[in-house]
């Protein structure tokens, strides 16, 4: 592979500033990679290659004029952007067919911040319908394949984004996560992703958007091929705008301040409901051993409250307010998901089966108010327990999913495995997704590193260490 396709964003920025590489060369290398691989995986759904080339030329002119001094941190570095983020002049549909002609007139806050930091978006990437399923598939753009095996899911809802990063279309990109939509795609595609503490990064300018307390379930964050980019990107993204976001003073400290040898590491093997495969448990053990060899205190525990992950998350989403999911599917007019299922069966629906299923789940939740109240109490108890366990330099190693990336549509049966990620949205805790090798079939394995509330730099420090100890991102053969 072109060496420019293997570097971190921060390394590329330094090379561009010092003249070791030009922005035009870096951008052109990633565009060529997208041309080469995207026809096989459908990760990037709309490009802005010509505009990116012009912006790269302008970046090189600024480099020459400044002598490399006083330039922004991501000067001249290409990136990709999840299609649900507003990016001026690009479609912003959120995978909803009725929005297929919507063009963004303004950059989302996260997009504006990375662009102000010098990054150059080269295109937008695929999502699930209304960003609410773990397959990047919709009736506008079709389905994204995993670059390690296109017959398998790339995840969702940021599936196109993680697949693009894994296939080296860009060194980093922007994702969002309300139930695992950064972490699951990052896991399935063998790259790094960070779900921040609830409220740390504004979600402004995305479609769809959460409401009420679910705005803190929903988080915006980076997806990267190299762990060293996570904290610089988080610092660029974090902090309130005039609409959204709060400040967590401890969140953005330097990961280098974390002494891995003094960490407490709690290994949780599962949620007690959905068993985890041997390969996934082996990856978790490998990560735990690497930290133990560095001196960390490692012990295995059970957290009984995790058994209630599904009702806790579902109840939190259901009580958040705002338009119902069925209303969003109908662009302001609530659809009947049971009737829509009939239309889907005869191929007359513009909605995907997972979205229809979520609409049905919403209707059923309306009829079970007692379950909702019980789940709310269970959520409060679990949040208190996790806050007790997660002292300032404690992390939890937790499975990302029960298996490596499943084949397309396989995740529908049963459709609840994503509870391994979603529960931490309801808990509003920072979580970093870390690649930890591959299985015998070459599919990425990984682990979630859960950190203390408001201390995002701690799980990011662990990710940086595990990258060195366990290998990190390994480019798929399709990308080489």
What are the helix and strand counts (H, E) for the chain?
16, 15
* pLDDT of the residue at 344: 97
Strand partners, 81: 124, 174
* pLDDT of the residue at 371: 67
pLDDT in tens, 401-437: 999 999 999 998 888 999 999 999 999 999 999 999 9
pLDDT in tens, 217-246: 999 999 999 999 999 999 999 999 999 999
Run of H or E residues at 215:
helix 214-217
HEC readout, 158-203: CHHHHHHHHCCCCCEEEEEECCCCCHHHHHHCCCEEEECCCCCCCC
From the list 53, 81, 57, 251, the residue with the least C-alpha distance to 172 is: 81
Rounded to whole angstroms, what are the CA distances from 15 to 8, 134, 222, 370? 11, 36, 21, 59
pLDDT in tens, 256-265: 999 999 999 9
CA-only gyration radius of the chain, Å: 21
pLDDT in tens, 17-53: 999 999 999 999 999 999 999 999 999 999 999 999 9
What average pLDDT score do residues 290-313 get? 97
Question: In this model, does residue 58 exceed pLDDT 90?
Answer: yes
Percentage above 70 pLDDT, the chain: 99
pLDDT in tens, 323-358: 999 999 999 999 999 999 999 999 999 999 999 999
Which candidate in 82, 117, 309, 400 is catalytic? 82
Domains, in order of start, for the chain:
3-312+372-479 (3.90.1300.10), 313-371 (no CATH)
* pLDDT of the residue at 365: 78
Mention every residue, 6+ apart, whose C-beta is less than 8 A from residue 449.
Answer: 395, 396, 397, 431, 432, 433, 434, 459, 462, 463, 466
First vs last C-alpha separation in the chain: 5
* pLDDT of the residue at 318: 86
Q: Of 76 and 414, which is predicted with more confidence?
A: 76
What average pLDDT score do residues 379-384 get? 96
What average pLDDT score do residues 101-123 get? 98
Q: Supply the mean pLDDT for the chain.
A: 97
Does 69 participate in catalysis according to the annotation?
Answer: no
From the list 422, 389, 417, the residue with the least C-alpha distance to 312 is: 422
* pLDDT of the residue at 369: 66
What average pLDDT score do residues 187-191 get? 98
Beta carbons within 10 angstroms of residue 347's beta carbon = 6
Which candidate in 157, 176, 309, 349 is catalytic? 157
What is the spatial distance between Cα 356 and Cα 338, in angstroms, rounded to a whole number?
8
CB pairs under 8 A, 24+ apart, for 48-55? 48/87, 48/89, 48/90, 48/121, 48/122, 48/123, 49/122, 49/123, 51/89, 52/27, 52/78, 52/120, 52/121, 52/122, 53/24, 53/27, 53/28, 55/27, 55/120
What average pLDDT score do residues 386-413 get? 97
Can you give the length of the chain in residues? 480
Does 17 participate in catalysis according to the annotation?
Answer: no
Contact status, residue 410 vs residue 354, Cβ threshold 8 Å: no
* pLDDT of the residue at 367: 76
Contact status, residue 365 vs residue 372, Cβ threshold 8 Å: yes
Q: Of 368 and 439, which is predicted with more confidence?
A: 439
Does 349 participate in catalysis according to the annotation?
Answer: no
Tell me how many degrees the CA angle 363-364-367 measures, rounded to the nearest 5.
100
Question: Phi/psi at 230 (nearest 5 deg)?
Answer: -60, -50
* pLDDT of the residue at 277: 98
What is the spatial distance between Cα 228 and Cα 234, in angstroms, rounded to a whole number?
11
Question: In this model, does residue 136 exceed pLDDT 70?
Answer: yes
Which candidate in 8, 181, 309, 400 is catalytic? 181
What is the spatial distance between Cα 341 and Cα 222, in angstroms, rounded to a whole number?
35
Contact status, residue 88 vs residue 132, Cβ threshold 8 Å: no
pTM above the 0.85 mark? yes
pLDDT in tens, 440-451: 999 999 999 999
């Amino acid at each position: 592979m072109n060496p420019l396709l293997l570097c971190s964003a921060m390394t590329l920025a330094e090379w561009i500033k010092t003249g070791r590489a030009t922005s035009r060369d870096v951008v052109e290398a990633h565009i060529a990679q997208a041309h080469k691989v995207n026809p096989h995986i459908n990760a990037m759904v709309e490009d802005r290659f010509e505009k990116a080339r012009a912006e790269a030329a302008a970046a090189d002119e600024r480099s020459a004029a400044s002598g490399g001094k006083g330039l922004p941190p991501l000067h001249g570095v290409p990136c990709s952007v999840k299609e649900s983020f507003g990016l001026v002049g690009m479609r912003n549909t959120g995978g909803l067919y009725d929005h297929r002609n919507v063009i963004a007139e303004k950059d989302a806050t996260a997009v504006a911040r990375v662009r102000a930091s010098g990054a150059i978006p080269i295109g937008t990437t695929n999502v699930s319908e209304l960003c609410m399923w773990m397959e990047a598939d919709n009736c506008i753009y079709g389905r994204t394949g995993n670059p390690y095996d296109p017959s398998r899911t790339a995840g969702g809802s940021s599936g196109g984004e993680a697949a693009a990063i894994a296939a080296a279309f860009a060194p980093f990109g922007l994702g969002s996560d309300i139930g695992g939509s950064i972490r699951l795609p990052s896991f399935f595609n063998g790259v790094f992703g960070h779900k921040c503490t609830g409220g740390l990064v504004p979600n402004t300018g995305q479609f769809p958007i959460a409401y009420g307390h679910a705005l803190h379930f929903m988080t915006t964050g980076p997806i990267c091929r190299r762990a060293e980019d996570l904290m610089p990107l988080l610092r660029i993204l974090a902090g309130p705008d005039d609409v959204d976001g709060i400040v967590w003073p401890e969140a953005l400290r330097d990961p280098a301040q974390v002494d891995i040898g003094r960490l407490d590491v709690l290994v949780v093997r599962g949620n007690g409901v959905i068993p985890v495969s041997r390969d996934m448990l082996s990856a978790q053990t490998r990560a735990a051993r690497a930290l133990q060899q560095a001196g960390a205190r490692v012990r295995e525990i059970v957290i009984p409250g995790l058994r209630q992950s599904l009702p806790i998350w579902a109840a939190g989403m259901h009580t958040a307010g705002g338009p119902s999911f069925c209303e969003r599917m109908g662009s302001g007019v609530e659809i009947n998901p049971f009737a829509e299922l009939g239309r889907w069966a005869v191929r007359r629906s513009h909605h995907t089966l997972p979205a229809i299923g979520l609409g049905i789940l919403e209707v059923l939740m309306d009829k079970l108010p007692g379950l909702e109240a019980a789940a709310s109490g269970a959520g409060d108890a679990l949040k208190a327990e996790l806050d007790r366990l997660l002292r300032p330099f404690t992390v939890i190693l937790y499975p990302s999913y029960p298996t490596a990336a499943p084949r397309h549509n396989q995740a529908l049966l049963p459709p609840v495995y994503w509870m391994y990620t979603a529960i931490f949205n309801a808990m509003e805790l920072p979580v970093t997704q870390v690649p930890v090798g591959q299985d015998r079939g070459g599919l990425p394995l990984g682990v979630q590193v859960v950190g203390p509330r408001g201390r995002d730099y701690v799980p990011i420090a662990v990710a940086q260490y595990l990258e060195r100890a366990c290998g990190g991102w390994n480019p798929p053969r399709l990308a080489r």
